[in-house]
Amino acid sequence: MADRVRVRGVTIHRSIIYGNIATVLTADERESCPFPDHTHRWTVAVRSAASAPDSDIVGGADDLGYFIKRVTFKLHDTYANPTRNIDRPPFELSETGWGEFEIQIRIHFVPESGEKPITLYHHLKLHPWSLTFPAPGTDPEIPSPENAAKLGPVHSWQYDEIVFTDPFQSFLTLLTAHPPTPISKSSKRPIPFHTSNPSSLEETKKGGVPEFTSVMEKEEGDRLDEAREKIIKEQEKWRGILVEREKELDRLQKLLASKE
């Protein structure tokens, strides 16, 4: 029973990525596909953040099965059996389709953890990234299959950390017995694009398999710090304006009272 005692004051985390890769179906694939309107093949996955050396996939250096029991992917209702359970690594699902939609990802942990499942959301990305957005009421510009195929696979990945606070002793022992592969400090591969980091769009144009690095982690922290400073300055500015308006209101109220 000692193993079911929580270790107070201890926090341990595991880095993951979740997202998808999509490729345009070839003419032969479209011909053999049972759904004539499908244009892409895609894979959605939950993986360890670190990439294996010389690997042709994003992340996945570590087997997550030691602490994840199941990953449930909830697809669009137009798919047959839209709720798909993956009960063993690799925790990924491949399908074909023609449109983008939000996928609910629910991660269930092994019984030893005593942890409740967590839910993540990912917008399935099929078409090449762009920083331009369509005008309200208009559809986004989608390249022809031929042009999209020339641009290569589309990657859309997000980094996250699953944090376990006050874990059970047995689960803590399990986690420490499987130290994660550290993410690379730097990489010659392109960095994954995200709209919060517009400059990374140029990286996606180089092609190749993207990789998460510790440099990205630091840069993201720096961007968060910069955004936090901007918010604080904006708050201070409007607080000052509010104080001045309140002083002006008080002056006018006193002036009005003196004339009554």
Digit-coded pLDDT (tens) for 72-104: 999 999 999 999 999 999 999 999 999 999 999
pLDDT of residue 199: 59
Q: What is the Cα–Cα distance from 228 to 19, expressed in whole angstroms?
A: 27
Which whole number is the average pLDDT over 49-73?
A: 93
Q: What percent of the chain has pLDDT over 70?
A: 82
Residue 163 pairs in a beta bridge with: 13
pLDDT of residue 131: 45
Q: Which pLDDT tens digit goes with each residue over 165-215?
A: 999 999 999 999 999 999 877 666 665 666 555 555 565 655 667 767 776
11 pLDDT more than 90: yes
154 or 224, higher pLDDT: 154
Average pLDDT, the chain: 86
pLDDT of residue 185: 75
pLDDT of residue 259: 80
* 3-class SS letters over the chain: CHHHCECCCCEEEEEEEEEEEEEECCHHHHHHCCCCCCCEEEEEEEEECCECCCCCCCCECCCHHHCEEEEEEECCCCCCCCEEEECCCCEEEEEEECCCCEEEEEEEECHHHCCCCEEEEEECCCCCCCCCCCCCCCCCCCCCHHHHHHHCCEEEEEEEEEEEECCEHHHHHHHHCCCCCCCECCCCCCCCCECCEHHHHHHHCCCCCCCCEHHHHHHHHHHHHHHHHHHHHHHHHHHHHHHHHHHHHHHHHHHHHHCC
